[in-house]
Structure 1
Amino acid sequence: MSVFKNIYSQFNLKYLIKTYIIGIAFAYLAWNYIYEGGSTSIKIFIILSAILFPFATIIYDSVIDLFFGGLELRINILIFIGYKLFKIIMLFMFTIFIAPIGLIFLIVRSKISQA
Structure 2
Amino acid sequence: MHSFLLKTFGGLTTSYYVRQFIFGAIFAALILSLMSSSPTGFTGKSGVVFMSIVCTILYPYSRFVYESVVGYIMGNNVFFVNAILMLMVKVFTMAMCWSLAIFVAPVGLAYLYWRNSRQISQ
- CA displacement at 1:5 relative to structure 2: 2.1
Of stretches 40-49 and 7-16 in structure 1, the one that deviates more from structure 2 is 7-16
Q: Distance in 1 between matches of 2:53 and 2:120?
A: 32
Q: Quote the Cα distance in structure 2 between the aligned partners of 1:79 and 1:20.
A: 24
1:76 alignment partner in structure 2: 82
Q: Please, which of 66, 86, 104 is the counterpart of residue 110 of structure 2?
A: 104
* Alignment TM-score, normalising by the size of structure 2: 0.86
| Count of aligned pairs | 114
Q: Runs of at least 4 residues of structure 1 off by over 3 A?
A: none
TM-score, normalising length: structure 1: 0.90
Q: Which structure would you say has the larger Rg?
A: 2
Q: Deviations over 1:46-103 (max 9, x none)?
A: 0000011011011101101110120101111000110111011111111111111111
> Which is worse superposed, 57-66 or 1-10?
1-10
Give the secondary-structure state (helix, strand or coil) at the position aligned to 2:80. coil
What is the percentage of aligned positions where both structures have the same residue? 25
RMSD over aligned CA atoms reads 1.4
The gaps in structure 1 that reach 5 residues or longer are: none
Letter in 2 for 1:70: N
